[in-house]
């Protein structure tokens, strides 16, 4: 197995995690705008309810639904070749854990007006394993499946069966 510099992996992991989150939030924003346009046609519903419905559907659609198709990966994490895994088994946790993790993360982001994201950024960048508050709560971690986003299976960091299975379905085959 190839040797990697752990400090480079940590930095690479943090940057990739930010890129993955940016992709997911961008997708949620586009969905939110589309939902506002679609829901805006209903006159019988109050504007506050329209915004709440649009926000719920866009968050659910971009950050929770992907776990039903690619366990442990949102669209952004799949793009960045990252995966949420159980801290002990290095396998994706049960679907209910993944969904609850995203819901709690969403409530913390909204409830703290984004302050939670700043705290998570500080924690993730200062920890070698990159785990943040919602990772500790649900006993998960985010792993990089490859050293670089452009890498194929030849430089896989973790040789588990789930990693091999994931890379078989990637668009980089």
Q: Residue 83 class from Cβ within 10 Å (0-12 exposed, 13-18 middle, 19+ buried)?
A: buried
Residue 128 — very low, low, confident or very high, per pLDDT cuts 50/70/90? confident
| Per-residue pLDDT tens over the stretch 61-87 | 999 999 999 999 999 999 999 999 999
Is pLDDT at 1 greater than 50 in this prediction? no
* Sequence-ordered list of residues with C-beta below 8 angstroms from that of 128, at least 6 positions apart, any chain: 6, 10
Domain boundaries, the chain: 6-168
């Amino acid at each position: 197995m190839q040797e990697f510099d752990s400090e480079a992996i940590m930095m690479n992991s943090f940057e990739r995690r930010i890129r993955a989150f940016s992709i997911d939030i961008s997708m949620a924003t586009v969905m939110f705008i589309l939902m506002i346009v679609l829901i805006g046609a209903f006159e019988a519903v109050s504007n506050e309810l329209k915004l709440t419905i649009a926000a719920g559907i866009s968050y659910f659609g971009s950050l929770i639904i992907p776990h039903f198709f690619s366990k442990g990966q949102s669209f952004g994490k799949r793009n960045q070749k990252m995966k949420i895994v159980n801290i002990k088994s290095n396998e994706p946790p049960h679907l209910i854990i993944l969904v609850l993790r995203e819901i709690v993360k969403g409530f913390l982001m909204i409830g703290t007006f984004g302050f939670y994201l700043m705290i998570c950024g500080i924690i993730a960048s200062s920890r070698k394993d990159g785990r943040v508050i919602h990772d500790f709560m649900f006993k998960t971690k985010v792993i990089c499946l490859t050293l670089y986003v452009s890498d194929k299976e030849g430089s896989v960091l973790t040789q588990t069966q789930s990693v091999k299975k994931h890379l078989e379905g990637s668009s980089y085959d």
